[in-house]
Amino acid sequence: MSNKQKEKVEDVLVKDARRALWVLGAINLLILIFFLGEGFGSGIVIIGLVAQGVIFVFLLLPVFLYQVLRQKLSLKVATYKALSSYRNAMEHVSW
């Protein structure tokens, strides 16, 4: 791969990672709003927290560990790839 192609791929990874962080931040903000409004007993808050845990444990963590342990990538690039995989997964979700 040429340097120009590598830069383009890295730019796309960074852009996807930023979008994923915005989505995760928005979800966490909504959970916080519901928590402050209704308390921890609200079903929406519990479902949101469980969903965040599932996303982290079953999607982000395995991708990150695979990139670091098997692909021998740096932590920064592995984080970008894990977050971009989250963004790609969110594209397939129908709301």
| Domains: count for the chain | 1
Mean pLDDT value across residues 64-81:
89
pTM of the model: 0.74
- The range of the structural domain enclosing residue 16 comes to 3-91
Q: What are the Cα distances from residue 5, in Å, to 2, 14, 15, 42, 67?
A: 5, 14, 15, 48, 20
Identify the pLDDT of residue 70.
Answer: 92
Identify the pLDDT of residue 93.
Answer: 64
